[in-house]
Amino acid sequence: MVLQKIITWARVKSPWIIHVNTGGCNGCDIEVVDVLTPRYDVERLGILIQGSPRHADVLMVTGPATQQMKDRLKLLHEQTPDPKFVVAIGACACSGGIFRHSYIPCLGIDTVIPVDVYIPGCPPKPEAIIYGVAQLLAKLQGKDSPVITPKKIALKDIKQSIEEDLAK
Amino acid sequence: MVDKKKIKVGSPQTGCSSCMPNTFEIPLGPQHPALKEPTHFLLEVEGEIIVNATPRIGYVHRGIEKLAETKTYSANLTLVERVCGICSHIHSISLANAAEGALALEGFEVPMRAQYIRTIVAELERIHSHILWLGVAAHEIGFDTLFMLSWRDRELTMDLLEDISGNRVNYAMNEIGGSRRDMNQSQIDRMLKYMDITIERMERYKDICLNENTIRMRTQEVGILLPQKARELCAVGPTARASGVAIDVRYDDPYSAYGEFRDIFNVVTYDSNDVFSLVVVRIIETIEACIYIKWMLKNIPDGPIFKKAPRKVPEAQILSRTEAPRGELIHYLWSNNTNKPYRLKITTPTLSNINTVSEMMKGDYLADSTITLASIDPCFSCEDRMITVVNNDRRKAKVETWSESQLRKYSNDWHTANKRWKK
């Protein structure tokens, strides 16, 4: 029981992710890379992007799972060690989006692998992606609400902070 | 450093894997840490040196061209923006230009202010795309500091785009007959201010790239593409300009508002023909784009931003050329006097440039393959369509060509099986 607690603690503190593109338009992918860079910087939450599925806990999947990528996505999901979690990023990954009525069945990734968290949007903003990951972390801890509670900030403060940044 | 001229490349003996037992194959992709998008390269190596590279595309085929035939023109503007997430705006400009070109046969004209707004957003998109590329290239050569710094500076441009259009990636600024959103004075002032900051930062990156050994040692004499080869392989955009081939649709065949400042326009070329040359060309192009934006913001005319266009587009076949951040983009539109296109064919810059990668990789070390691949700024989501690349020497792949009757039978069968598909 104590061991289980320690494992959960470690998992919540450092979720390592792998980014899989299953035929998306690049829009969600640059937003995923964007959350790793200085403005949003998710490394402060312990999130680190990994090259190999063997090292990853969380699969971040974008794109509508095209005919060619379906089998490869399944393989990647099998290669990830248990327990694994899947986050679907963008309208395409959630449901197929604008490509749903194409002659190629692009119906979203939940037709291929089980999904834990859906982040809608075309593409979702970096803030939304961070919020989605926070939801996932809450799920790991067995809570309903996310770990990070969003705060309301006045627009003036944001403008001021941007101008301070520029002055530097 | 091995002298490249001493390695025989592309001769009939080395091209064939069956008669060269000392070469072996290394697959790269579709899921690979160096690639953000799914594509596959089969590298044939002799020791550490690449002797052949075969691209295999098609992982991102989503049937956009067929889907475009089922939607109206303004819905299609939304669809073609999703061809690629980085150069989304230029695709919608291209389709809008094609449709407006057909409407111009009946005397339809787009207001000039709308053309300026389109061009400003297109240039902003070029800035964010080039800075993004600089970061990715720095990441590939292991220079993560530059990756982080350049992506921080890219956020300024993303803020401007969000300010103008409300979106960060797919801007939805275009409509057939003009622009959807206007720009007010405070936005223009903010843009001028941010452009100055961007120019200052890019000048610094230019200094870093020209003088810093970290970049020079990894990029100089890597991925060589000679001007003659670039012409033969139909390279476009920065890939061609880095080989000294001065082609730019913005200058050669001006569209939107590019004709207005043709006298201050510079076609940026550099003549070292390697990856270093591509870095320099892209950085200088970013600075140039800032200068064009400042010129346009100072000279933007007053007037309406939108003119209502008729829904039906008269019968015509239009070829619309535009310069995307990666090179020449072609939209071929066949309209048939209805509100939906009869045929839309998209040819994207990466499709033209993908063959140059195989050429650039030959004779290089395996470790340089990722930066060579990243150097053309590949955008596979733009590029994937139904073409077959067959290298007869080394792959015994079966390629079947369907006759017209077979195609018709397949199509009829498919439509009876999928009756709910709306056409």
Alpha-carbon distance values, B353 to B55, B138, B143, B223, B329 (Å): 12, 21, 25, 13, 12
CB contact (8 A) between residue A104 and residue B31: no
For the segment B295-319, the average pLDDT, to the nearest whole number, is 91
CB contact (8 A) between residue A29 and residue B159: no
* Segments forming the whole domain that contains residue A90: 2-167
What is the structure's pLDDT at B7? 47
Secondary structure E strands in B193-326: 316-324
For the segment A141-154, the average pLDDT, to the nearest whole number, is 69
Put simply, the chain B residues between 11 and 50 with a CB less than 8 A from any chain A CB are 30-33, 36-38
Both tokens of residue B245? 């081939």
CATH number of the domain to which A64 belongs = 3.40.50.12280
Both tokens of residue B53? 């590279």
For the segment B325-333, the average pLDDT, to the nearest whole number, is 90
Both tokens of residue A23? 């035929």
Residue B294: band (very low, low, confident or very high) from pLDDT cuts 50, 70, 90: very high
Share of chain A above pLDDT 70, in %: 96
Share of chain B above pLDDT 70, in %: 89
The nearest alpha carbon in chain A to B155 belongs to A39
Kindly report the number of other CB atoms within 10 A of residue A150's CB atom: 10
What is the structure's pLDDT at B362? 87
What's the CA gap between B57 and B68, in Å, rounded?
22
Report the gap between the CA of A15 and the closest CA in chain B (Å): 18
What is the structure's pLDDT at B288? 92
Kindly report the number of other CB atoms within 10 A of residue B108's CB atom: 19
What is the reported pTM?
0.86
Report the gap between the CA of A73 and the closest CA in chain B (Å): 9
Chain A, chain B: beta-carbon pairs less than 8 Å apart = 122
Q: Is the pLDDT of residue B122 over 90?
A: yes
What is the structure's pLDDT at B420? 65
Pick A57 or B391 by higher pLDDT. A57
Chain A residues within 8 A of B148 when measuring between CB atoms:
37-38
Kindly report the number of other CB atoms within 10 A of residue A32's CB atom: 24
CB-based contact B339:B313 (threshold 8 Å): yes
Interface membership of B416 toward A (CB under 8 Å): no
Q: Is the pLDDT of residue A8 over 60?
A: yes
**Domains along chain B with CATH numbers:** 64-347 (1.10.645.10)
Q: Is the pLDDT of residue B340 over 50?
A: yes
Residue B6: band (very low, low, confident or very high) from pLDDT cuts 50, 70, 90: very low
Put simply, the chain B residues between 76 and 95 with a CB less than 8 A from any chain A CB are 78-79, 82-86, 88
What is the structure's pLDDT at B11? 44
Q: Is the pLDDT of residue B295 over 90?
A: yes
Alpha-carbon distance values, A42 to A31, A45, B134, B295 (Å): 12, 5, 21, 38
**DSSP three-state, residue B342:** strand
CB contact (8 A) between residue A25 and residue B82: yes
Domain count, chain A: 1
Alpha-carbon distance values, B16 to B25, B52, B57 (Å): 12, 9, 22
Residue B287: band (very low, low, confident or very high) from pLDDT cuts 50, 70, 90: very high
For the segment B154-162, the average pLDDT, to the nearest whole number, is 91
Residues found in chain A: 168
How deeply is B303 buried, as exposed, middle or buried, from its count of CB atoms within 10 A (0-12, 13-18, 19+)?
exposed
CB-based contact B372:B219 (threshold 8 Å): no
What's the CA gap between B102 and B186, in Å, rounded?
36
For the segment B190-215, the average pLDDT, to the nearest whole number, is 91
Q: What are B205-223's pLDDT values in tens digits?
A: 999 888 888 888 888 888 8
DSSP state of B107: T
**Which residue pairs from B285-288 have beta carbons closer than 8 angstroms and sit at least 24 positions apart in sequence?**
B285/B126, B285/B130, B285/B238, B286/B126, B286/B127, B286/B130, B286/B131, B286/B198, B286/B202, B287/B199, B287/B202, B287/B203, B287/B206
What's the CA gap between B322 and B260, in Å, rounded?
16
Q: Which of B85, B148, B152 sits opposite A30 (nearest CB)?
A: B85
